[in-house]
Structures are given as C-alpha cells and as structure tokens.
Amino acid sequence: MSDGAASPDLSAEVEGPHEGGFRARAAITTERGGPRYGEFSEQVRTLMDNVRYACPTPELVDELIDTLAEINDKLAAARIDEWHSPSGTRIDLPARGNINLPPFDVTYLNDDGAFATLTFRDFHLGGNNAAHGGQIAVAFDELGGYASAVAIQGVSRTAYLTVQYRSITPLNTPLQIRTWADRIDGRKVYVKGTLHDGDRLCAEMEALFIKLNPGQR
C-alpha cells in the first residue's frame, strides 16, 4: 500500500466462519476511505458520464491515457480485498459507495422491504436517452437482495430475476424503487419490486433468492 493510502479499518469486522458468499456479518462502515470518499466516488461517476458522451480528439485521448494511467497506478497500489474496501461497505454513501451500481439512497429497510430513491446516470444509457434494461435489472437485484436479507435475516443469492419493462426509464431523474419479500418457503424467498418515475410505472420485477447455507459460497 502506498504511503498516501488510508489504512484499512479491520476493527469492526466480525471474523470467523462467514454465513455465505456475502459475509453477512462483515463490517458496515462509515469511515473507510475518509470523509471525502463519497466525493471521490462522484468524480468517478462523472468521469464515466463524460466518457459515455465525449468525442475526444486523438490528441486529447493521448493526454487522457497518461492521466488515467497515473490514477490507475495510485489506485492499484491501494487495492485490498472486497471485504475491506469502502466500496460496498460505506452505508452512509449512495449505493453503499459502490460505483458499479446506479446511485441510490435508502429511505427505509424494514419488514415491509426496501424503498430507495435511485438515479440512472448518463453512463447507464441504453439508447435514446433512456436507461439500459440491464442496469434496471442490476438495481432490482441489489434492492431485491436487501428485501430478501431483512426478510430472512441472512444472506441469499439470486436464483432468477425477471423484469417487465412497462415504460421508458429516464436518466438523471430521481426514481422510486421498492422491493419486498412476497413469500418465503424454506430457503426460498420470492421477492417483488417496482420502479416508478413519480406516478408512472417504469418496470416491475419478480425474483427468487435462495438463502445460503452456512459456509455456502
């Protein structure tokens, strides 16, 4: 690790045999990466937004390759395992600090399931200024995983997930996503979800999550 990199926070993690692939008891943090990690994540998202829509000159591409290579060298020196990275564990940040996900803020997560405000960005473009269908499925998988987790108080994996695309999902618009466990049958958690732009239904989801057995990957 380079001198400038923050030390990983190992203190909060409950070590020992984990309950499944997602380590249900891994640390949930608000400090890894420091107070400006959210700002850093937002810069990365903006980079991806700009890359999606830019048509750089060959000269600018030359320049950007050098700049990005420098940034990548710094980040590569700060790499760590997934369980100790801020990305995915910073619950104070949009999408747990995971820049791979469309950014969302959870409004509630309880016995009723999960509700979040979520925004697809320019880099989630499918076509004609609408969100990519695969990205919509990503959003449902993430928030469906939350609904399953609270329903079974454990960790699960998606066995299947189907999406009905009902109307165009806009970019750069705060959307409302709701997921809930509709039925539980042993290890099987049947989850449903909706994605709205105000009153307009954009997409619906039905998924099956399977509770992982102890030690199951």
Closest CA to 161 of 122, 131, 134: 134
Binding characters for ligand 3IX, 48-87, by CB under 6 A (x = yes): ----------------------------------------
Residue 177 touching ligand 3IX (CB under 6 A): no
Residue 93 touching ligand 3IX (CB under 6 A): no
Q: Give the count of residues interacting with ligand 3IX (CB under 6 A).
A: 21
Counting Cα atoms < 13 Å in the Cβ hemisphere of 62 gives: 3
Of 5-13, 77-85, 157-165, 167-175: span binding ligand 3IX (CB under 6 A): 157-165
Separation between Cα atoms, residue 116 and residue 122, nearest integer Å:
19
Closest CA to 171 of 209, 128, 108, 204: 128
Which helix (H) or strand (E) segment holds residue 105: the answer is strand 104-110
Separation between Cα atoms, residue 73 and residue 92, nearest integer Å:
27
Separation between Cα atoms, residue 105 and residue 92, nearest integer Å:
9
Residue 159 touching ligand 3IX (CB under 6 A): yes
Residue 149 touching ligand 3IX (CB under 6 A): yes
Nearer to ligand 3IX, 89 or 119 (CB): 89
Q: Which residues of this protein are in contact with ligand 3IX, per CB under 6 A?
A: 22, 28, 89, 91, 96, 141-142, 145-146, 149, 155, 157-160, 186-188, 208, 210, 216
